[in-house]
Chain A
């Protein structure tokens, strides 16, 4: 029996020893800024690009030490990770929350420890806004408005009357930030220009559901000529449904082609733009690293930072009919945004 106890202890010691191996690599730096980043997970290409952006920005060469923690889609893992960051006395905490709710307690702990918290991507719903320092993310409403303005400019250039634009809207998962903003952008366009919005239905951001919704809409209406998909995956499904119904996707509305507008600009999405299947694709930029670094540098210098920070996002179209659009962002600032005609080089040169 004693031998077995001994064996058990040795095995345990080995496990402990294994964790010791990694340590030799750790070095103590003078003015290295330590950043703890708790990420949602690795569920999509967008998320992976978001993580990689942070990792390349907060690298050792740039004078940072990044402690990265993948929450595997669980909020309780993030609570634990943030508590660990606090004990590790990181200089900044980056938190891409799994959920909007449930952050009061742990953010209070971070505040008590005087560690600034930068929220990334999704917003947090807390009783006191001072619990986090600032937020970085995408502007879904601006994305929607950009798409609507592009459609208006395109229709004007092609001399298509607004009432001849028969639009269906395949919405994202109802209640998500992206769905709310992008739907609102389209609805404002309908209001402003008098388009014919036939129907709105959720495709839940998936290809399968997007296809299903498009199929049913094609059966209901025979005059659809614009499909507004709230992400690329829905667009892929919609394109499949349109082609299966014997119609063609494209940009020549007068010739009976159906024009597809989409969001996210994933690699596959942009390839579809290049092929002319998606007419316009508005970016949802996952590269938050540089913006996060700029904020941290500002905080290091003791400057005040804005509470809400939107990352820059581009617009890609299949051709150069529309050179730029003017739209208002969520902070009520009007801006002019260039529309980039897509090329293979652009697709190859992108980080995600």
Chain B
């Protein structure tokens, strides 16, 4: 029993260390951007807030992915779920006159349904999460095309009011003409940050969260400890599905449109953000806060490359791949170090 708690403790310090590295990396990158591209608006508060504005949906989706990745699972259907949610909302509001409130409810239900079906197949049927969510990914994208192959622009007044609503900050920046422009955040950012905090609290302080880490760390011992592994995993996928639906709604508030090709590859952005944020693909390690910083690092890289202006945008992918390698190496070094200490 003593050895067990020891391992558990090490895992947590690893989580902490990975998180520190991610956060430090983000601040160093951003600080470098502020120094180097000060004349290109990098020092403006709005530039920083835009990282959240543009990625609110991704933040929520990454949170969901972090939860299933902690159990040792994966969900690659989230991009398709986002596309389906956007399309269904756009189609309902524009072609069927459904009110924005009902459309949002339906969006969340779609996410939940994906979570329930995928969660059931993974936890109770014992099918590989990759295969289950791969099927979910194809299904979601296919259904999107069935709903409509048109590009639908959302012009619903209530919805546009939400999308264009701004919380203005007491601080801001002065533009070239000398006008003071206050910094702002749309409601999507508020929702996304609240979700990140709620999930972080849930994982760190609630029984459900601790069970997830136990299952991901060692499923066998979790079973022997008498944890209801299947039920917990089922719940994890339901929560993940719900967050994908919610993330899809936030994504839709940003783009105000539905079309088949939307959010293609979003699942990979979410996975890479979670990994950069210190989540282990093998399970047992990871935090939503880390994933949030993963998303922010992702956004900072592309902002840096846009600000530079002449570099090909593909460099953001290359830098991201290097970062992924860097984090995977760090993770494996830490893992082998703790394995050594166990002896």
Interface contact B263-A76, CB-CB below 8 Å: yes
Interface contact A99-B306, CB-CB below 8 Å: no
CB neighbours (8 Å) of A89 from chain B are: 41, 175-176
| Of B214-222, B223-231, B236-244, B308-316, the one with at least 4 CB within 8 A of chain A | B308-316
- Count the A residues whose beta carbon is within 8 Å of the partner chain — how many? 53
How many inter-chain residue pairs (CB < 8 Å) link A and B?
A: 150
| Of B24-32, B64-72, B114-122, the one with at least 4 CB within 8 A of chain A | B24-32
Rounded to whole Å, the gap between the CB of B296 and the closest CB of chain A is: 13
One of A73, A104, A114 near B160 (C-beta < 8 A): A104
Interface contact B309-A16, CB-CB below 8 Å: no
Tell me, yes or no, whether A175 is within 8 Å of chain B by CB. Answer: yes
Tell me, yes or no, whether A28 is within 8 Å of chain B by CB. Answer: yes
Rounded to whole Å, the gap between the CB of A20 and the closest CB of chain B is: 5
Rounded to whole Å, the gap between the CB of A221 and the closest CB of chain B is: 29
Rounded to whole Å, the gap between the CB of B299 and the closest CB of chain A is: 7
CA distance A216 to B37 in the complex (A): 58
Tell me, yes or no, whether B191 is within 8 Å of chain A by CB. Answer: no
Interface contact A125-B306, CB-CB below 8 Å: no
Interface contact B181-A16, CB-CB below 8 Å: no
Interface contact B46-A87, CB-CB below 8 Å: yes
| Of A64-72, A132-140, A292-300, the one with at least 4 CB within 8 A of chain B | A64-72
| Of B129-137, B254-262, B280-288, the one with at least 4 CB within 8 A of chain A | B254-262
Interface contact A70-B25, CB-CB below 8 Å: no
Q: Which residues B164-218 have CB closer than 8 A to chain A?
A: 164, 175-177, 181
CA distance A71 to B17 in the complex (A): 34
| Of A1-9, A253-261, A272-280, A330-338, the one with at least 4 CB within 8 A of chain B | A1-9
Rounded to whole Å, the gap between the CB of B337 and the closest CB of chain A is: 8
Interface contact A11-B326, CB-CB below 8 Å: yes
Tell me, yes or no, whether B333 is within 8 Å of chain A by CB. Answer: yes
Tell me, yes or no, whether B12 is within 8 Å of chain A by CB. Answer: no
Interface contact B21-A23, CB-CB below 8 Å: no
Tell me, yes or no, whether B232 is within 8 Å of chain A by CB. Answer: no
CA distance A73 to B303 in the complex (A): 17
Q: A79-B255, A104-B163, A108-B164 are in contact. Are A13 and B28 (CB under 8 A)?
A: yes
Tell me, yes or no, whether A47 is within 8 Å of chain B by CB. Answer: no
CB neighbours (8 Å) of A17 from chain B are: 32
Rounded to whole Å, the gap between the CB of A38 and the closest CB of chain B is: 9
Interface contact A65-B163, CB-CB below 8 Å: no
Rounded to whole Å, the gap between the CB of A174 and the closest CB of chain B is: 10
Interface contact B255-A75, CB-CB below 8 Å: yes
CB neighbours (8 Å) of B330 from chain A are: 4, 8
Interface contact A71-B54, CB-CB below 8 Å: no
Interface contact A102-B20, CB-CB below 8 Å: no
Q: Which residues A72-94 have CB closer than 8 A to chain B?
A: 72-77, 79-81, 83-85, 87-89
Interface contact B153-A100, CB-CB below 8 Å: yes
Interface contact B314-A8, CB-CB below 8 Å: no
One of B153, B254, B304 near A19 (C-beta < 8 A): B304
Q: A20-B36, A80-B302, A104-B160 are in contact. Are A72 and B151 (CB under 8 A)?
A: no
Q: Which residue of A lies closest to B25 (CB)?
A: A12
Tell me, yes or no, whether B40 is within 8 Å of chain A by CB. Answer: yes
- Count the B residues whose beta carbon is within 8 Å of the partner chain — how many? 68
CB neighbours (8 Å) of A44 from chain B are: none
Tell me, yes or no, whether B15 is within 8 Å of chain A by CB. Answer: no
CB neighbours (8 Å) of A127 from chain B are: 155, 160
Q: Which residue of A lies closest to B179 (CB)?
A: A114
Q: Encode B313-332 as 1/0 by CB contact (under 8 A) with A.
A: 11000010011001000100
CA distance A85 to B257 in the complex (A): 22
Q: A87-B44, A101-B259, A104-B164 are in contact. Are A68 and B310 (CB under 8 A)?
A: yes
One of A23, A87, A101 near B152 (C-beta < 8 A): A101
CB neighbours (8 Å) of B163 from chain A are: 104-105
Q: Which residue of B lies closest to A125 (CB)?
A: B153
Q: Which residue of A lies closest to B155 (CB)?
A: A127
CB neighbours (8 Å) of A73 from chain B are: 261
Q: A5-B17, A17-B32 are in contact. Are A87 and B54 (CB under 8 A)?
A: no
CB neighbours (8 Å) of A20 from chain B are: 32, 35-36
CB neighbours (8 Å) of B326 from chain A are: 11
Interface contact A70-B312, CB-CB below 8 Å: yes
Tell me, yes or no, whether A323 is within 8 Å of chain B by CB. Answer: no
One of B41, B150, B181, B299 near A88 (C-beta < 8 A): B41
Tell me, yes or no, whether A15 is within 8 Å of chain B by CB. Answer: yes
Most buried by B among A12, A67, A114: A12
Contacts A15-B29, A70-B312 supplied; 8 other A-B pairs, CB < 8 Å: A5-B21, A9-B24, A15-B319, A70-B313, A76-B251, A76-B254, A76-B263, A127-B160
Chain B positions near chain A (C-beta within 8 angstroms): 17, 20-21, 24-25, 28-29, 31-33, 35-37, 39-42, 44, 46-47, 50, 53-54, 150-155, 160, 163-164, 175-177, 181, 251, 254-259, 261-265, 299, 302-304, 306-314, 319, 322-323, 326, 330, 333-334
List the 4 closest A-B pairs by CB distance, nearest first: A102-B257, A16-B32, A101-B257, A87-B41
